[in-house]
């Protein structure tokens, strides 16, 4: 086979970059590759999800609670606490978080729930409040839920008196009710 025939049979060699650039263009996947129509659809989808509420969920004495995810800095397993004398019963102590002293609040005691841990390890939710960082000690952490604002309501009038000062709202989920807590009220 002559070099001319061989050159006709082989396709031009593309670099890896050219191949990935070609695949990166999402408009190429649509007939006609109409970039304007694709971008408009993406913006509509973004608008629909940017209004949803993002809630970090957790459990206390078998009850399902949540706080807005933008208030959660991190989640840690049980941490060593330094007790502080003459503090409120719900004040668990102080913890050292990478050189920063963070007060820890036991949410079970804060909301006057009975202790139902059965020997399981506590979890610390490190949260941002208007008064700084705090650790909320909870039984276990759930998922981060994206909730449509239509399912979010103010707290009902007949809510339990021990919860009322701390509840910001409730979300009606398919299988249960999610109680959204007010971080600033819990630390105050």
Please choose, from the candidates 58, 62, 79, 82, the residue with its C-alpha nearest in 3D space to the C-alpha of residue 121. 79
**CATH number of 54-187: 2.80.10.50, 3.40.50.10190, 2.40.50.180, 2.60.40.10?**
2.40.50.180
The pLDDT of residue 113: 86
Would the pLDDT of 139 be above 70?
Answer: yes
Please state whether beta strands 152-153 and 140-147 pair in parallel, antiparallel, or not at all (unpaired).
Answer: unpaired
pLDDT digits (tens, 9 = 90+) for 15-57: 444 444 444 444 443 333 433 333 433 333 333 456 899 999 9
Would the pLDDT of 73 be above 90?
Answer: yes
CA dihedral 19, 25, 26, 29 (to 10 degrees): -60
Residue spans per domain, the chain: 3-50, 54-187
User: Mean pLDDT across the stretch 122-147?
Assistant: 94
Residue 160 gets the label, from left (phi > 0), alpha (psi -120 to 50) or beta, of beta
Rounded percentage of the chain residues whose pLDDT exceeds 70:
71
The pLDDT of residue 21: 46
Neighbours of 88 (CB within 10 A): 10
């Amino acid at each position: 086979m002559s070099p001319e025939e061989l050159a006709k049979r082989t396709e031009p060699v593309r670099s890896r970059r050219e191949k990935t650039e070609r695949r990166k263009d999402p408009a190429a996947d649509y007939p006609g590759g109409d970039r304007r129509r694709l971008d408009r659809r993406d913006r509509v989808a973004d608008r629909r999800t940017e209004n949803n509420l993002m809630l970090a969920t957790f459990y206390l004495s078998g009850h399902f609670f949540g706080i807005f995810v933008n208030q959660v800095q991190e989640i840690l397993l049980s941490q060593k606490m330094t007790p502080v004398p003459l503090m409120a019963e719900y004040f668990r102590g102080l913890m050292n978080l990478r050189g920063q002293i963070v007060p820890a609040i036991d949410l079970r005691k804060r909301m006057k729930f009975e202790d139902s841990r059965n020997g399981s390890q506590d979890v610390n939710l490190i949260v941002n409040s208007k008064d700084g960082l705090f650790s909320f000690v909870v039984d276990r952490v759930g998922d981060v839920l994206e909730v449509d604002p239509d399912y979010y309501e103010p707290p009902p009038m007949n809510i339990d008196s021990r919860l009322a000062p701390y509840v910001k709202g409730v979300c009606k989920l398919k299988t249960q009710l999610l109680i959204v807590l007010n971080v600033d009220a819990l630390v105050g």
